[in-house]
Structure 1
Amino acid sequence: MSIERIVFAVAGAFIVISILLAVYVNLNWLWFTAFVGANLFQSAFTGFCPLALILKKLGKTSGTAF
């Protein structure tokens, strides 16, 4: 699995989990959802993604996104 697919999967999982936590635990979990969305937005323009850097250091390779 390529770095891009892992980043998409982790971001999607974080968003779904934080929405469920907001519904069932506390609405403040929506701040985490906003943080993930803001990080995805800025990485689209800057190319900087902390998770991608970590995965690259762990030996994962970049590939086609789909």
Structure 2
Amino acid sequence: MAGFAWPREAIPEVAQAFGRLFPADTAIDGLVRVNQLGANIWEVAHDWLGLWCLMIGYFILV
């Protein structure tokens, strides 16, 4: 679902939405941008916020 085994543009929207329920999808995207592309924290703020929202959602479910 992260888009490195298959181009993200070729993955159906439903599958991409399902993949966003797992922290690995968001974390991989943010880490690759920081480590490989030299992005700063503000450029990955969307991924950072997504991980926090997942953490809060999982905490509520447990």
Bin of the TM-score, shorter chain as denominator length: 0.3 to 0.5
Q: Which has the higher contact order (CA 8 A, sep 6+)?
A: 1
Q: TM-score, normalised by structure 2?
A: 0.44
Higher normalized helix content (fraction of residues): 1
Q: Compare CA radii of gyration and give the structure with the larger one.
A: 1
Q: TM-score, normalised by structure 1?
A: 0.42
